[in-house]
Amino acid sequence: MSIRNALLCACVALGALIPAMAQADADVVITTAPPAPRVETMPEARAGYTWSPGYWKWENNDHVWVAGRWVEDRPHQHWVPDRWTQDPNDSNHWHFRTGHWEEE
């Protein structure tokens, strides 16, 4: 196999892996309710960006605060922030939903 073909295969494999890694914490389910969100002061607006508020991340069996951040706008889409939702069928379970863009 030539170096060119090996690099092409590696790029294709990496391209398939990156989206899976980006969604890795989308399936977090825990039985410990997250604390109330911290009060954050949203910075002054930035053209071309949307503010994504902070959230509690589940890490090493504990909630860890992740500060708010700017995410670059996408045409014809709106940002849905990272969040925890309580299972409607079992109030003892909480599901983490990763922040993402949705079509308008």
CB count within 10 Å of CB 55 equals 22
pLDDT tens profile 14-54: 444 444 334 444 579 999 999 999 999 999 999 999 999 99
- Tell me the domain boundaries of the chain: 26-103
As a whole-number percent, the residues of the chain with pLDDT over 90 amount to: 70
Give the C-alpha separation, 35 to 46, whole Å: 29
pLDDT at 77 over 90: yes
In angstroms, the Cα distances linking 74 to 4, 17, 41, 77, 100 are 33, 23, 24, 6, 11
Give the C-alpha separation, 86 to 16, whole Å: 31
So what's the pLDDT on residue 27? 78
The residues, ordered by sequence, that sit 6+ positions from 3 with a Cβ below 8 Å of its Cβ are none
Q: What is the mean pLDDT of the chain?
A: 83
As a whole-number percent, the residues of the chain with pLDDT over 70 amount to: 75
pLDDT tens profile 78-102: 999 999 999 999 989 999 999 999 9
So what's the pLDDT on residue 102? 97
Give the C-alpha separation, 54 to 84, whole Å: 12
